[in-house]
Amino acid sequence: MLRFVHISDSHISTPDFAHYGHRSYPNFEAVVSAINALPFKIDFVLHTGDVVENGAAEEYALAKPLLAQLRFPIYYANGNHDNSDLLQRELIGIHTPNERYDCTFSIKGVQIAILDSSNRRDHTGILTESQLEALRSLCTSEGVPLIIALHHPPVPLDTPWLDSGWCDSNGELCGTMLLENWQAFQSAIAPARARLRGVFFGHIHHACQVWNNGILYCAAPSTFGQLASYPEQRAPQPTPEQPIAFNLVSIDGEQVIVRQVAIPRPATSAA
Ligand SMILES: [Fe+2]
């Protein structure tokens, strides 16, 4: 049995940084406490990106001691709000950062591949041709159970603002949340569907599960704040009344269980 906690989009900045009345830092403190208080052991924590808000060194310096309080190992995907170099140096301990932060590791016979989907130009997501080539080599039909993680959603979610973009208050078209080359991603992973236990992502600030072509796609809610994602919804809409949360994933043979664990916002979260 492999168990992990999937968290995402913590957006840590200053201790007082707030959006729609809630502070990201005390929210994340509450999440760390809740994970540490789980009455059973997990194998690791997966953070699918946007650890910090602006990719700034001071933000990673604030986040680091809080993340160090976790009593389980943590693995990261690089998000569009992250700085890949600082994420690798400050949180992962890589002295000479890679251009893109991809990694693979194995725990209890399950292979986990984390991909850096951040487009360095803007907030959209893309995988390079060399990343797709590596993914094709990884995703053969034969092999051990496999998990893939990345920040941007690699599957359409029946929500126009996520799938096709939206206009901001100035009428400027914002890029899509959907991974730009999601079809190439899906083609690359398809041969491994029988051993692929799930594709885990964040970015959308909303818990969501999709069953597509025999593969489970699963988004973690944000530990900061959620956004509504409904069919026909054409612009992002904060839902500050929703609690912060994380996903608890159990993998036993071919069975995958995803539980969402909601946490009351701490009193200190209110801005
Ligand atoms: Fe993001």
CATH of domain 2-269: 3.60.21.10
Å from CA of 118 to ligand 1 middle: 9
110: CA distance to ligand 1 center in Å? 26
Taking only the tens place, the pLDDT of each residue in 22-66 is: 899 999 999 999 999 999 999 999 999 999 999 999 999 999 999
Mean local confidence (pLDDT), 218-222: 98
Q: How far is the CA of 269 from the centre of ligand 1 (A)?
A: 21
Cα–ligand 1 centroid distance for 88 (angstroms): 17
Say what percent of the chain tops pLDDT 90. Answer: 88
Q: Separation of 41 CA from ligand 1 center, angstroms?
A: 28
Distance 176 CA to ligand 1 centre (A): 11
Burial bucket for residue 172 (CB in 10 Å: 0-12, 13-18, 19+): exposed
pLDDT tens, residue by residue, 134-143: 999 999 999 9
Given this model, what pLDDT does residue 223 score? 97
> Which residues have beta carbons under 5 A from ligand 1 (an ion)?
50, 79-80, 203
Query: Per-domain residue ranges for the chain?
Result: 2-269
> In the prediction, which pLDDT does 47 show?
98
* Residue 89, pLDDT above cutoff 90: yes
